Structure 1
Amino acid sequence: MTFKSRTAIRLSDGRELIYFNEEEGSHRAEYPDTRQLPPPPPTSQLRYDPLVDEWIAVAAHRQTRTFLPPSDACPLCPAKPTFAGEIPAPDYDVVVFENQFPSFSDRVAPGEVDEINPMVPVRPGVGRCEVVCFTSDHNSYFGALTPARVRTVVDVLADRTAEISAMPGVAQVFPFENRGVEIGVTLHHPHGQIYAYPTVPPRTKLMLAAAARYLSRTGNDLYTDVLAAEREQGTRIVGANEHWTAFVPAAARWPFEVQIAPHRKVADIPALSDQERDAFGPLYLDVLKRFDGLFGKPMPYISAWHQAVVGEGRDLGYLHLQLFSIRRAADKLKFLAGSESAMGYFVNDIVPERAAQLLRDAA
């Protein structure tokens, strides 16, 4: 691990906050949360949709979450005499804390109903939601981090994935970052999130089913063979090093989409070796700079770590990062309209091979 110490405190409402310190001798955990916060909300409600065999989370308390506050009232900045946010210390390296407005948590409200009607079972949305602050610099962004800080973030995600995966009721741990108001960001400070889902998400279910069918038919691992085919063909490769390859999927759904995968099959971030963790940052930072270079301005994106599930089907998982943007031109966004939103049938505006070439050309 690149961080030198890991110190945890409790915020005034009982939520956990963890400082990951890159230097020895940090006293950050000595600063108390001086706010007087109400108790955290009860967890969300899961409702089963029998028509598509999916669970939907209903989290009404999130309607009141913080929305684009001014920079001097940012809850993710270090504490200062004029404002106290989520982080009590006056500075930090990387911080993780329980989300104040979680989609999933272990705080189950009494008297939870068990069905809406006989067709729609209901259960508590037991899980966990955490916020990951990459830097104390409010005006920075992930692409401006040093490779050393990216390595720290990877180690932090490994720490959290291992710990959260061991919590009761967790089906999959999903770290991600949203960037840009076009994506729906509500806080400008550089940060990501970690969702611990109580059920296997729909996309993961599809990926597991496809991998299981391929294994049964060929005896091979699906993602391993997809990555090998992309590396051999080379047409859609954006960048690579000894341990990782970044490529545009041949059937990309989004105008600009890149997957970054390790050459060795591993289930999740904790399984990455030191060499693989070191090699990830330089390649990822290069891809992020290419995204920003496409149109000469900050690119809105979602960066999503696909990890193996915790339970059945874990052996089918192949860790990879999916990075994609809804921007299809300098002044145009890709909206999920009728076909995508209603039917889940994507229509891409940019040929994937063209997207790969544009990203290779973007300096």
Structure 2
Amino acid sequence: MPTNFNDSPHRRLNILTGEWILVSPHRTKRPWQGKTEKSTVTDLPAYDPSCYLCPTNGRMGGGINPDYQKPFSFINDFSALLPDVKEESYENGLLYAESESGICKVVCFSPDHSKTLPLMNVSDIVDVISLWQKEYMELGSKEGINHVQIFENKGSIMGCSNPHPHGQIWAQNKIPQEVHKKIGNLKAHWEKHGRSILEDYIEQELKLDERILLENEHFVALIPYWAVWPYETMILPKRKIANIALLTEDEKQAYAEILKQLTVKYDNIFNTSFPYSAGIHQAPTDGQEHPEWHFHMSFYPPLLRSATVKKFMVGYEMFANPQRDITAEQAAETMKSLSDLHYSLLD
């Protein structure tokens, strides 16, 4: 890359979505007098009697949680999608609408109210991955479910209404818009080269070693060249597999290890329980073969300058295209320098 790209404006292409991002590294020098956020509360009890996700507690929808000791899932009491929706469509001139059906589930990662992913044992994270696999297969096999989205919103700054460590799964009839963007680029590369675009991308990133954060036998964690969020990352399996259900036991263990390592590094950036939205993109469950798919997990964290100053997606980002200040390489340098031991365990 040209050396002046480290401190001058330039654009980068997201090879998965086909979208461009503006990078403006010189803007990190500007003073900040804008909004600050409250620091995330990290001193939580192992059990909270008022938490509707803790074992044996009542939920807002009226159900009672079992005394679960492993990751636990249930139908969301306030689902954004419903299973038995009559198929209808509406068209009136330039006005279009159609019905949408699906199933929304909540996945509690741990019975311990205080244990976020970076504080969990690797074996417990393996259990979370096992439950993700089970849900992907079971939901994806249901009639009318063509896509399964697994995700986590961590922290109140990301709209999470309950600090108990948990994620969600939305399974629906239509393939979502972000996935559609990727399908076209994944297919085009596969048809031209007979390889996944992410296979070739991983190979190039490993050779360059500029944005690689973590690596083990089966997985890599890196900051994508086209990252939008300040400390955006991606976890990818080295082997091209279309979905999470295809992981071997060894790969599942490696995935859990790198998940823990990466989230520890996140918490260590600003010595706080680092907020983010994370999601797994994998092959649709529409009954079609998807040889082009290479499953991956992305993390979009909002914090930029400190535990209380976030990156806002407003103005230019809303009306033109995404923009970031620090380069992906600068962010990678910061994260690589951090301890692999959680800050709460350091003297």
Shift of 1:85: 6.4
1:92 match: 69
Of residues 146, 157, 164, the one that matches 1:182 is 157
Per-residue CA distance 1:155-209 (angstroms, 9 max, x = gap) = 1110110011111222211111110111110111110001113211121111111
Please state whether the residue corresponding to 2:110 is helix, strand or coil. coil
Per-residue CA distance 1:212-256 (angstroms, 9 max, x = gap) = 222343343211111111111111000100010111111111100
Shift of 1:323: 1.5
Whether 1:261 aligns to 2:257 is: no
Whether 1:357 aligns to 2:337 is: no
1:322 match: 298
Please state whether the residue corresponding to 2:334 is helix, strand or coil. helix
Shift of 1:105: 2.2
State the distance in 2 between where 1:102 and 1:84 align: 11
Amino acid at match of 1:103: A
Amino acid at match of 1:177: E
1:275-290 equivalences in 2 (<5 Å):
275-290=250-265
Of residues 167, 176, 179, the one that matches 1:192 is 167
Identity %: 27
Please state whether the residue corresponding to 1:315 is helix, strand or coil. coil
Please state whether the residue corresponding to 1:207 is helix, strand or coil. helix
Q: Tell me whether 122-131 or 275-284 shows the greater mean CA deviation.
A: 122-131
1:15 match: none
Contact 1:236 1:353 in 2 (8 A): yes
2:108 match: 133
Please state whether the residue corresponding to 2:233 is helix, strand or coil. strand
Q: Tell me whether 117-126 or 260-269 shows the greater mean CA deviation.
A: 117-126
Question: Mind listing any 5+ residue stretches in structure 1 that lack a counterpart?
Answer: 1-69
Amino acid at match of 1:78: P
State the distance in 2 between where 1:177 and 1:80 align: 22
Whether 1:341 aligns to 2:318 is: yes
Change (3 A) 1:132 1:287: same
Contact 1:164 1:170 in 2 (8 A): yes
State the distance in 2 between where 1:282 and 1:153 align: 12
Question: Looking at both structures, which has the greater relative contact order when contacts are Cα pairs under 8 Å and sequence separation is at least 6?
Answer: 2
Shift of 1:297: 1.2
Question: Mind listing any 5+ residue stretches in structure 2 that lack a counterpart?
Answer: 1-46, 340-347
Contact 1:104 1:126 in 2 (8 A): yes
State the distance in 1 between where 2:61 and 2:284 align: 37
1:147-296 equivalences in 2 (<5 Å):
147-296=122-271
Amino acid at match of 1:353: E
Change (3 A) 1:315 1:217: closer
Change (3 A) 1:334 1:217: same
Amino acid at match of 1:247: L
State the distance in 1 between where 2:97 and 2:314 align: 29
Change (3 A) 1:272 1:318: same
CA RMSD after TM alignment: 2.2
State the distance in 2 between where 1:130 and 1:84 align: 13
State the distance in 1 between where 2:61 and 2:176 align: 36
- TM-score of the superposition, structure 2-length normalised? 0.78
State the distance in 1 between where 2:68 and 2:198 align: 41
State the distance in 2 between where 1:306 and 1:114 align: 28
Whether 1:300 aligns to 2:299 is: no
Q: Tell me whether 226-235 or 120-129 shows the greater mean CA deviation.
A: 120-129
Shift of 1:94: 1.3
Amino acid at match of 1:129: C
Shift of 1:313: 6.5
Amino acid at match of 1:349: D
Amino acid at match of 1:341: M
Change (3 A) 1:269 1:220: closer
Change (3 A) 1:353 1:86: farther
Change (3 A) 1:339 1:202: farther
